[in-house]
Amino acid sequence: MANISIFGLGYVGCVGTACLAKLGHKVIGYDIDETKVSCINQGIPTIVEREVDEVMKEAHTQGLISATSSTEQAVSKSSISFLCVGTPNASDGQLDTSCLFHAIRNIGKALRSKSTFHIVVIRSTVPPGTNETATEILEKESGKKAGINFAVVSNPEFLREGMAVSDFLAPPITVLGSANPQALKILRKIYEPLNSNIIEVPPKVAEIIKFVNNSYHALKVAFANEIGAVCKKLDIDSHQVMDLFCQDTQLNLSPYYFKPGFAYGGSCLPKDLKGLNYLAKSNQVDVPILASVEHSNSLHIQRVLDRVQEIGIRSIGIIGLTFKAGTDDLRNSAAIRLAESLIGKGFSIRIYDRFLNIAREKSDGKKELSHRIPHLLPLLEETPESLIQKVSLVLVTVRNSEVPQLIINNPGIHFLDLVRLKDSSVESMPNYEGFCW
Ligand SMILES: NC(=O)c1ccc[n+]([C@@H]2O[C@H](COP(=O)([O-])OP(=O)(O)OC[C@H]3O[C@@H](n4cnc5c(N)ncnc54)[C@H](O)[C@@H]3O)[C@@H](O)[C@H]2O)c1
């Protein structure tokens, strides 16, 4: 069992103190607030929260919980320090990490007189890059070396207030981000009894995931409420609608669509989103989230155009013109919008699309193409090789198994991948660029 110090005895720190002691560890709390230190010393939680009283009382009776107002004492009596200090919004929206860094500086000073390896775990929600800055501060204040005398691990807390104890003891996942294998191994051991999936990621991924999670949770609430507002006007039970929505675990509650890549298009998403916005508008329901989705999608196409302008190459190949791979459907294709915008800006364009070439061989397919994209038809190439000979920058808008080999065979041509081909053999090549990852 480990000796653990907890810095910050608010919601996260108080629950962490009680639950880590429940797992059998000896926990010493530290806070700048003397009242909280005094509460913990008496085995009284600093917060009102389901189950926490009993868990803390039991561990305190067993002599596993104490608290101190001395940073030196907290550090010297532990081998792992969990940072649970508050990071509220500053007036401009950014998270204010000043209290957290204050605590880190104090831990650094306390480490000066420590000879054993110490792990600093960042539990607080922090901006990406905090792990790196914390490591620099600790090195400076302690005069010790990261990786040898101490290590910093990013380990975001996922608990929900009201369910905090049960969430701590059964987290959805456990995320660890650190450059230090020894620290990761020790923390794996701490979390092992919780039986959750322990996932190791780079520190910046561990840091941003809380922002992503909570922003998505907020989006879910606001989306459901917009659907509720529209349904109410139409005399439809929104709960029945959303219950049904949640039954689709293939497309709705699933990893599907959650891949940063290119803009959406096609015959259904743009059409039905417009249709729902019309229903809302015609019933005087303001739905800012639904109303802004199309704008967000257009902005994403604009980002590609901006990047192409930045790269500065004027002869461009586009691989994939249909709205997604495996179809000849051109309706509302984002790649067509991209091609048209590039032509409008005077770029020279060539296009290769395997599925359009198949469609071109059929007489009705040829007629359809002449009707839909008469202006782009003359730009179509028969093979990727013929495209490559005429361009210096290639935009990949659909997953195509022919592309990785093209990237390898043509080091002088820049490839901007808009969909992530997910081919590790090309991702590190200097002529390959991922668009939004
Ligand atoms: N509350 C939640 O449900 C929740 C869930 C997950 C993550 N988080 C994140 O965890 C962090 C803590 O949140 P919280 O709700 O427990 O905050 P809180 O405000 O309840 O507690 C923060 C504690 O830090 C103490 N503190 C301030 N400066 C200090 C210092 N220099 N040294 C030691 N202690 C210091 C404060 O006195 C306070 O007791 C935040 O980053 C928050 O975003 C919170």
pLDDT tens for 158-175 read 999 999 999 999 999 999
Atom of ligand 1 nearest to the CA of 160: 3
| Residues designated catalytic | 268
SS3 376: coil
Q: Give the distance (Å) from ligand 1 centre to CA of residue 215.
A: 19
**Residue-range domains of the chain with CATH:** 3-201 (3.40.50.720), 297-434 (3.40.50.720)
Residue type present at position 19:
C
In whole angstroms, give the CA distance from residue 180 to residue 5: 20
- Mean pLDDT confidence for 344-364: 91
Q: Give the distance (Å) from ligand 1 centre to CA of residue 88.
A: 8
Closest Cα to residue 234, out of 283, 307, 268, 300? 283
Closest Cα to residue 188, out of 178, 332, 306? 178
Residue identifier of the C-alpha nearest atom 18 of ligand 1: 10
Query: What's residue 267's pLDDT?
Result: 87
Query: Which of 5, 11, 48 for a ligand 1 pocket mutation test, highest count of atoms within 8 Å of Cβ?
Result: 11
Check if the beta carbon of residue 123 is closer than 8 Å to that of residue 16. Answer: yes
The pTM (predicted TM-score) of the whole model is 0.94
Q: Give the distance (Å) from ligand 1 centre to CA of residue 69.
A: 16
Residue 107 φ/ψ, nearest 5 degrees: -65, -40
Name which of 184-188, 324-328, 391-395 the model is least confident about: 324-328
- Mean pLDDT confidence for 253-265: 96
Write down the residue that tokens 């107002």 correspond to. 69
Query: What's residue 339's pLDDT?
Result: 97
Closest Cα to residue 119, out of 87, 83, 143? 83
Residue type present at position 172:
P
Query: What's residue 364's pLDDT?
Result: 79
| pLDDT tens sequence across 93-115 | 999 999 999 999 999 999 999 99
Helix residue ranges, H only, 257-324: 269-282, 288-311
In whole angstroms, give the CA distance from residue 319 to residue 380: 10
Query: What's residue 326's pLDDT?
Result: 86
- Mean pLDDT confidence for 289-305: 98
SS3 68: strand
With a Cβ cut-off of 6 Å, ligand 1 is lined by 7-13, 30-33, 36, 84-87, 99, 102-103, 124-125, 157, 159, 161
* pLDDT above 80 for 403: yes
Q: Give the distance (Å) from ligand 1 centre to CA of residue 5.
A: 14
Please give the share of the chain, as a percent, with pLDDT higher than 90: 93
SS3 117: coil
| pLDDT tens sequence across 6-46 | 999 999 999 999 999 999 999 999 999 999 999 999 999 99
Atom of ligand 1 nearest to the CA of 13: 16
Residue 220's contacts (CB-CB under 8 Å, 6 or more residues apart) are none
Question: Given pLDDT bands bounded at 50, 70 and 90, which one contains residue 2?
Answer: very high
Burial class (CB in 10 A: 0-12, 13-18, 19+), 93: exposed
Query: What's residue 367's pLDDT?
Result: 83
Query: What's residue 105's pLDDT?
Result: 98
Query: Which of 126, 157, 207 for a ligand 1 pocket mutation test, highest count of atoms within 8 Å of Cβ?
Result: 157
Query: What's residue 324's pLDDT?
Result: 87
Task: Give the tokens for residue 129.
Answer: 């890059």
In whole angstroms, give the CA distance from residue 401 to residue 403: 6
| pLDDT tens sequence across 45-73 | 999 999 999 999 999 999 999 999 999 99
What is the residue-averaged pLDDT of the chain? 96
Query: Which of 14, 85, 96, 212 for a ligand 1 pocket mutation test, highest count of atoms within 8 Å of Cβ?
Result: 85
Closest Cα to residue 131, out of 75, 179, 182, 71? 179
